[in-house]
Amino acid sequence: MQFLVFSCLLVVAAALPQDPRDREATITLDERSDNGDGNFRYHFQTSNGIDTQKTGTPGSEGQSNMEGVFIFQLPEGGIAEVRYIANEYGYQPESDLLPTPHPLPEHVHELLRIAEEQRAAGITFDRRRK
């Protein structure tokens, strides 16, 4: 019987998270302010290394403009940081972790230049099929 109880305790101990980041996180910092007029600010931190901050202001088109950052620990080590702006032009994140598109081939730049010249000259094309 003692062996069975000891075995059960050993299994439970082995199942517990060994890495502190795997344990349930608790909030270590919670700062918020909201003026009720569309201006707000918050800052949260957790015990597992997550840190997020956001500031908001009313936008010219009725939207909320936001600027912020979120930081977290990567599983393989190191820290991830993403800064962003969200406004009438959409969500614009910046981070070394985000993939970037391949550069456009040179002929595409030439085609874009030609199209811009045509627009400036008032040239349009009928897009309807007959």
pLDDT in tens, 87-96: 988 999 999 8
Q: pLDDT band for position 6 (50/70/90)?
A: very low
In a domain, residue 88? The reply is yes
Q: Is residue 43 over pLDDT 60?
A: yes
Q: What's CA 69's distance to the chain center, in Å?
A: 8
Give domain status of residue 19, yes or no.
Answer: no
Q: Based on the structure, what is the number of domains in the chain?
A: 1
- Once rounded to an integer, what is the mean pLDDT over residues 80-92? 92
> Is residue 67 one of the residues assigned to a domain?
yes
Distance between CA atoms of 110 and 89, rounded to whole angstroms? 26
